[in-house]
Amino acid sequence: MSLIVDFLLLCVGFFLLTKGADYFIENSASFAEEKGISPHVVGVTIVAFGTSLPELLVSIISSFQDYNDLALGNIVGSNISNIGLVLAVSTFIFYYVLKTTIVPENDANQDSYVMVLAVFLLFLFSRDNLISPSEGILFFTLYLFYIYWLFKRSTGVVVNDDSDENTSFPLLFGGLVALLFGAQITVNAAVSMAESMGVSEIVIGLSVVAVGTSLPELAGTISAARMGHKEIAVGNVIGSNIANIFLVMGILAIINPINVEESVIERTLPLLIMLTVATFAMIRVPLTRMGGCILFSFFLLFIYQLI
């Protein structure tokens, strides 16, 4: 009975995370467009940060409650899910629904270098089984430099704002509140389920919580794909993966040093590196249905590895 209650609470937590992120992203993006910010910048900053908020909040709450394995698994698993599930689904939508392929712009190609750098630094810092506060500060500093570089690149770019939507600040802050409550409920329910089933926190973090906190990325990317906004669909995934490592992991390590299990170093992080490098290569050519199948096969391998 307790397991059923925990599962229902987990669903409630995911619902709050997803709806909260929807309202936050929609109104943040609307506000950015009103200010004349380019769609790509919206994708890799406003939308990416908004969709990374669940990971940030879930991980911070987990860290404060001494569930470091859950926090680490959430971040690493989310990055794998973002590419192997979210970006793969986007390619299928563009191919089957819009009858086209994803041709990423030069901005996305430039940002992919930062995504690869983030993954390799995460692996390098994890080799001693610990991500220290000093390494967390470096991550956070690199994220600030990335944001500065991004906006310097976009200076002078003319943006056509044809949106009729106005920003709703009550919904903007309401979405943030829903994210906060959803994160707390998700962590408590996930940990309780892990204890009831005798499953380790790292496995729950890598699977259930990681996929759950990737739902906002999936919802945001599907929405962007259906509207034909390729730059936001791809930028959301790249920007979110950068934010998850440089911003989320950086803040977590500053708050509390993160212990990294040997299994994560030996199996999960190498898989994330292979998936990131594959994405780096594939977005330099039209990302077709075949590319989506390759990315999705990595996600299935990740799930099989956990099982």
Nearest residue to 273 via CA among 251, 304, 235, 302: 302
Tens digits of residue pLDDT in 274-286: 999 999 988 887 7
Instruction: Pull the structure tokens for residue 146.
Output: 């990335």
pLDDT at 106: 73
- The C-alpha atoms of residue 292 and residue 165 are separated, in whole angstroms, by 32
Contact 122, 268 (CB under 8 A): no
Cross-strand bridge partners of residue 130: 259
Domain enclosing residue 38, as ranges:
2-154+168-306
On whether residue 102 sits in a domain, the answer given is yes
For residue 225, being part of any structural domain is answered with yes
Q: Check residue 121 and give its pLDDT.
A: 96
Residue 162 covered by a domain: no
Give the chain's domain count: 1
In a domain, 258, yes or no: yes
DSSP symbols for 2-34: HHHHHHHHHHHHHHHHHHHHHHHHHHHHHHHHH
Q: What pLDDT, on a 0 to 100 scale, did the predictor assign at position 53?
A: 72
Residue 134 lies in a domain: yes
Contact 212, 17 (CB under 8 A): yes
Q: How many CA atoms lie within 13 A of 296 on its CB side?
A: 13
Domain for residue 160, yes or no? no
Residue 287: strand pairing partners: 102
Distance CA(170)–CA(175), nearest Å, equals 8
* Residue 163 counted as domain residue: no
CATH of the domain at 209: 1.20.1420.30
pLDDT in tens, 199-210: 776 777 777 777
Residue 159 counted as domain residue = no
Gap between the Cα atoms of 185 and 252, Å rounded:
19
pLDDT of the residue at 173:
77
Q: pLDDT per position in the chain (307 positions), as tens?
A: 578 888 888 888 878 877 776 777 677 667 666 766 666 676 677 767 766 777 777 778 777 777 777 777 878 888 998 898 888 888 888 788 777 777 766 777 888 999 999 999 999 999 999 999 999 999 999 999 998 888 787 665 555 555 555 777 788 778 777 876 777 787 778 778 777 877 776 777 777 777 776 766 676 666 666 666 666 667 778 888 998 899 989 988 998 888 888 888 988 899 999 999 999 988 887 788 888 899 999 988 888 887 6
What pLDDT is stored for residue 101 in this prediction?
75
Output the pLDDT for position 30: 73
